[in-house]
Amino acid sequence: MSERTPAEDDRTIVDGQGDEGLRADDVPSRIGPYRLIRELGRGGMGAVYLAEQLEPVQREVALKLIGERRAGGSAGAMFEVERQMLARMHHPAIAQVFDAGTTPGGRPWFAMEWVRGEPIIDHVERHGLGARERIELFVRVCAGIQHAHQQGVIHRDIKPANVLVDRVDGVSMPKIIDFGVAAGIVEHDGRTRSDTTDRAGTRGYMSPELLAGPAAEVDTRTDVYSLGVLLFELLTERRPPPASDTMALESIRRMLVGSASGGSELDDRTLRSGEDARHLPRELRWILARALAPERNERYDSAAALAADLRRYLANEVVEAVPASRAYRFRKFLARNALAVGASATVSLALVIGLVVAVYGLLEARAQADRAEQIASFTTRMLSSIDPRIADGAETPVLDRVLSDAAERVRDELAGQPGIRAEIELTIGQVYASIGQHERSRKHLESVLDLLAGDRSSRNFLEAGAELSLIDIQQSKIAAAERRVEELLEIAERHRPETREAWLDLLSIRGNIRYEQARYDDALAIYRRILGEIGPRPADPTRSIRIGVMRQMGQAYSEMHDLERAGEWFQAAIDAAREWNDPTARTIQADLLNDRGVVLLRQERYAEAESVLREGLREAERLYAPDHPNVIVQYGNLAGAIRQQGGSEKLEASLPIYEKARRLAIERYGPDHPQSVAFTYNLGNAYRELGRVDRALAMHREALQRREALPENHMFQGLVHLGLGQSELAGGNPEVARDHLQAAVDRLGELVGKDFLRRIQAMEALADAHEKLGETERAAALRQQAAALKKGSD
């Protein structure tokens, strides 16, 4: 067992008080539809009981009963805060609230998900989790806290007892509980702060500002501090001194960063904590020191930033908390590269060494224009070889630091040679785009546009603008992409034939924009024009454009539900890519296999789809990082192919893949992105089919809430109603289900046609809802219509 600090440091305080003294004889045996079974625990606000919900569904819940009888007192107000906050949070790492009310005796209560788990410290010790597993578990906790912050909630009482962990399929999964002392967030002087004035939390985990009060000065970084204490305890099995002991805490932080050893002023317990922490790897010590900084401005800005640095540590990448130095970055580079070499990537080492030599040679020769241009050309080729399409499986993180260093020196030391600098900036931007780091790519590509503003018809200017437009499309910034493409097309058309290749590329992006706008006929007309211009046997410069346009033809036909024709175009594009002996073809093939798998999915050929999608995913994982946009999409599609085959085994197998796809999409794009909404919807379907109706409802309600971020003509405008309607029906709410299912039938009919498979499913589910409500004639008519549509589509 780990060493614990004194009991008073573990005690939750609210308004400076302890328990309300809720007596057993004050507790009724039944509250609303819930029968109390046994007490699970009690704290500063009251007690929590295991209860059985008797209607409308039977399940076990955790029922929290507030100790104070008056709903209008401070405890009642805290209860209302927790109720409202929990109701708007939906995350796998946060316990979900189900219901709330007040007992006849005036005590507030709410029912929430009962978490079958144990405090996180007890869990990692009992299961003997190693340091890496503990960090991975902690990162999941950070994701839950970050979600709470995004919903406007500061927890303020993060501690082991409020992070319960259960083992699911061999993986430790956390659930954050007890938001009873949480605070909402409001804007104040440009920074998010707590909107309450109560001091609350647990002394041993409270930040200096929370201990000092008032809580109006608290922001999300107070949770970062508590997370730092929890991480310290996970890694050392001891706790750092409380924030109230500023001298001891500062001594521990100095020991963490290696600037001091323990002194005689420290007590034995604190000294042992510091000595244990000093044996941690250097990066982890710097991460802890930053999270535990007494001054908020020195801490991580968010739980997500703390988690990101831990992920960098696990990936052997440069950790932001460690002071930047060329020696440190070079050591990390060599460490990451050694892993690549160990995986038979010796060629990558040669490429990187050659790149470093080339960049330094370029900078040293910058005063000799001819020589500099020659080396710039060589450097550009070396940078291009980092592109996963050419590096052939070398781990892209191995090369990220080299890109950053090259970009920094090129910017600083080639200011007087804009043409050379633009060439290298363009290549760096394209490589960043190819590995899915869009914001880094955007910075370099925009630099190219600035450098070449006086030469807008140049190949590099048009190419940089085209790449930026593709990034805009990827990030659902369709209007921005359209404005940029139309401006660039006008330039390219004026300067043809010199700009023919760029003009064809931009024309294909115009077609992609029409596709994203669901103007499929317009997109197809553009694609046919391009194929006519290029011809059946193109030269290499336009070969990739031709294959890409063939792919887009298939995608457009797929969205128009002409699946046979879509499959033909995808297969033709696959064949063309396989005939092309060029590294670029490998990337195209991975994407095309995914596209072909999606068509098989829509044709309900699920086992075939799984086989094709697995092949495509293997290619994508070999080429890209795990959170690359192409990989995220393929995770979601593969999960769908597995799930749709039916059976409990397939359903269970699909669930972790769905969850991974959704998590990665939200981390990369945010919860309102179409991909995030789609994965949330699909995950809800999987939960429902597994009988986990509560989780399904949470996912589908979130998807419905996020639909406003989607284009009006997006198919998910109808699908989100279908998913929620089916889950409400499974949850015993036929009246609510009926309204959503009717909306699904109407919207899907408008968006994709009356005989669309999912619309027919919505009609069948709607018939079930009418039947449950006693509306049998309406139910029979709907089933008859659905059967006729099915027959017509066969």
Name residues whose C-beta falls within 8 Å of residue 601's C-beta, 6 or more positions apart in sequence.
609, 637, 640, 641, 644
pLDDT of residue 244: 84
For residue 417, is pLDDT > 90?
A: no
pLDDT of residue 598: 86
What CATH number does the domain located at 684-793 have?
A: 1.25.40.10
* Amino acid code (one letter) for 76: G
Tell me the C-alpha distance between 174 and 231, whole Å.
14
CATH of 24-314, picked from 3.10.20.30, 3.40.50.300, 1.10.510.10, 3.30.70.20, is: 1.10.510.10
Q: Which of 300-304, 412-416, 586-590 has the highest mean pLDDT?
A: 300-304
pLDDT of residue 509: 94
Tell me the C-alpha distance between 772 and 776, whole Å.
8
Which of 116-120, 478-482, 622-626 has the weakest average pLDDT? 622-626
**Percent of the chain beyond pLDDT 70?**
74
- Helix/strand/coil percent split, the chain, to 5: 65, 10, 25
- Say whether 684-793 and 24-314 share the same fold: no
Tell me the C-alpha distance between 752 and 713, whole Å.
9
Name residues whose C-beta falls within 8 Å of residue 74's C-beta, 6 or more positions apart in sequence.
14, 15, 68, 198
pLDDT of residue 406: 63
Q: What is the mean pLDDT of residues 402-415?
A: 63
Q: Which of 248-262, 672-686, 730-744 has the highest mean pLDDT?
A: 730-744
In this structure, which long-range contacts are made by residues 493-499, counting pairs with CB atoms below 8 Å and at least 24 apart in sequence?
494/457, 495/457, 498/457, 499/457, 499/459, 499/462
Name residues whose C-beta falls within 8 Å of residue 249's C-beta, 6 or more positions apart in sequence.
240, 241, 242, 243, 292, 294
Domain layout of the chain by residue ranges: 24-314, 684-793
Give one DSSP letter per residue of 655-677, joined into a string.
HHHHHHHHHHHHHHH-TTSHHHH
CB 349 within 8 A of CB 359: no
DSSP helix/strand/coil, 626: coil
* Amino acid code (one letter) for 559: E
Tokens 């039944």, residue? 30
Q: Give the mean pLDDT of the chain.
A: 78
CB 586 within 8 A of CB 616: no
Residue 348 binned pLDDT confidence (cut-offs 50, 70, 90): very low
For residue 687, is pLDDT > 60?
A: yes
pLDDT of residue 665: 87
**Strands, sheet with 118-119, edge to edge from the N-terminal-most edge strand:** 118-119, 163-168, 171-176
pLDDT of residue 469: 92
How many other CB atoms are there within 10 angstroms of residue 161's CB atom?
20
pLDDT of residue 784: 92
DSSP helix/strand/coil, 327: helix
Q: Which of 15-19, 690-694, 786-790 has the highest mean pLDDT?
A: 690-694
Residue 4 binned pLDDT confidence (cut-offs 50, 70, 90): very low
Q: What is the mean pLDDT of residues 460-472?
A: 91
**Percent of the chain beyond pLDDT 90?**
30
Tell me the C-alpha distance between 557 and 569, whole Å.
9
260-287: pLDDT as tens digits: 444 445 555 666 666 667 778 888 999 9
CA distance from start to end of the chain: 65
Q: What is the mean pLDDT of residues 602-626?
A: 83
CA dihedral 161, 164, 167, 172 (to 10 degrees): -90
Residue 618 binned pLDDT confidence (cut-offs 50, 70, 90): confident
Q: 347 vs 674, which has greater pLDDT? A: 674
Q: Which two structure tokens, joined as six digits, stand for 219?
A: 């922001």
Residue 729 binned pLDDT confidence (cut-offs 50, 70, 90): very high
pLDDT of residue 786: 87
Tell me the C-alpha distance between 772 and 720, whole Å.
22
Tell me the C-alpha distance between 380 and 359, whole Å.
9
pLDDT of residue 6: 40
Q: Quote the DSSP letter at residue 109.
A: E
Q: 255 vs 307, which has greater pLDDT? A: 307
pLDDT of residue 426: 82
For residue 383, is pLDDT > 90?
A: no
- Phi, psi (rounded to 5 degrees) for 98: -110, -45
For residue 647, is pLDDT > 60?
A: yes
The verdict on whether residue 64 carries a ligand-binding annotation is: yes
Residue 197 binned pLDDT confidence (cut-offs 50, 70, 90): very low
159-192: pLDDT as tens digits: 999 999 998 888 899 999 877 555 544 333 334 4
DSSP helix/strand/coil, 565: helix
Tell me the C-alpha distance between 752 and 678, whole Å.
17
pTM above 0.75, yes or no: no
List helix spans (H) across 26-118: 74-87
For residue 666, is pLDDT > 60?
A: yes
pLDDT of residue 292: 93
Which of 220-234, 392-406, 457-471, 487-501 has the weakest average pLDDT? 392-406
Q: Which of 400-409, 435-444, 551-560, 768-777 has the highest mean pLDDT?
A: 768-777
Tell me the C-alpha distance between 91 and 113, whole Å.
12
Q: Which of 87-91, 265-269, 733-737 has the highest mean pLDDT?
A: 733-737
Q: What is the mean pLDDT of residues 583-608?
A: 82
For residue 733, is pLDDT > 90?
A: yes
Angle in degrees, 0-180, between the axes of helices 131-150 and 303-314, rounded to the nearest 10 = 150
Residue 345 binned pLDDT confidence (cut-offs 50, 70, 90): very low
34-74: pLDDT as tens digits: 999 998 877 656 788 999 999 888 899 989 887 655 445 55
